[in-house]
Amino acid sequence: MHENLSRSLTIALQRSHACAERALTLTAFFAGDAIAQPNQNALQPAGAQAAHIARLWNLTLVVCGVVFAGVLLATVVSLARRRRGDARTPPDAGSADAPELRTRRFVIGATGLSVVLLVGLVVADVLTDRALSRLPVDNAVHIEVTGEQWWWQAAYAPDGGNAGFVTANELHVPIGRPVIVSLKAGDVIHSFWVPNLHGKKDMLPGVDSTIEFRADHEGIYRGQCAEYCGAEHALMAMLVVAQTPDSYAAWLKQQSAPAVSAGDALALRGRQVFLQSSCAGCHTIRGTSAQGTLAPDLTHLMSRQTIASGVLANTQANLLAWIRDPQALKPGTTMPSVPLAADDLRAVVAWLGTLQ
């Protein structure tokens, strides 16, 4: 019995230590980058679609606020005008013989006003839905986004003479140009949500859907899976980078190119270790023999701002910690801990650091 209790306490302490270490790591990351955190705010629309939704929200808030204030006012007036008495005061049944016409008119008027306001909100909702569906989509950017546990795969269609390519967890779009996102779910139900640009759209396994939006302002906007999809649902984020057309064209050209060959000896060794390990069976790096499809495409890994779907800033130190023990940072992730020697791990990170 004492042995079982001791073992249980040891396991509990180990789990507590692991959780504390993970919390400190994530806290340090978010605290250190607090100023640079991307915008995720439905009340600050950065595109036409989000602006329609924000206006509907503001109207709904005003109407509901006025109704709530009216109900509170009526309650206060009723309490202030109530007749006071005690246990010996006989009940007042006078209203049964002489109906209170003034009160009846007030209730009928308030009911009629409520109906008018509700119908008005329904009409506003229908008009907003029509406005959302009327976004011009000529010369649109086409992206296929697949939700996985717990990351996002983004496949760009050929555009502007550039070949199509696949990236992960970070979308780039040109401002002023419509974007059509084809949505798929690779495992369970997910939900695509970038509140600064549009509302939520569910992603159902076996059911393809689309969402269209247009970014009108430069910036970096945070997206999030909005449908509970498992243990690390809260750590399934993405970034949408809205750029000028020229910047977007340069990014498109860079991303469609294969990986650049490593230069120094350490990076060359890391490339060899990567390609000979299980890493190459899960990840794709265009221009190499790594053609795995189970995990994010790493061809231009270091051009992204975060790793692990927004869990960590994309630095070589964080990359090393992620490869060494991903379960400590994102428990339940399908990425296994790769048993690499310390020197081999540093070499792999050095090579990955060249994938710009």
Angle separating helix axes 101-133 and 48-81, nearest 10 degrees:
170
Q: Determine the 3-state secondary structure of 287 from DSSP.
A: coil
For residue range 54-107, what is the model confidence (pLDDT) as tens digits?
999 999 999 999 889 988 998 898 888 777 767 777 776 666 666 777 778 888
Q: Determine the 3-state secondary structure of 96 from DSSP.
A: helix
Predicted pLDDT at 102: 78
CA 49/CA 103 separation, integer angstroms: 45
Rounded alpha-carbon distances, angstroms, from residue 297 to 152, 235, 256, 315: 11, 19, 12, 17
Local mean pLDDT, 10-residue blocks, the chain (356 residues): 47 43 45 59 93 95 91 87 74 68 83 90 94 91 96 94 94 97 96 96 95 96 96 95 96 92 86 93 94 94 94 94 93 89 94 92
Predicted pLDDT at 153: 97
0.75 cut: is pTM over it?
A: yes
User: Which of 139, 222, 236, 221 minimizes the C-alpha distance to 186?
Assistant: 236
Q: Which domains are assigned to the chain?
A: 37-74+103-243 (2.60.40.420), 265-352 (2.60.40.420)
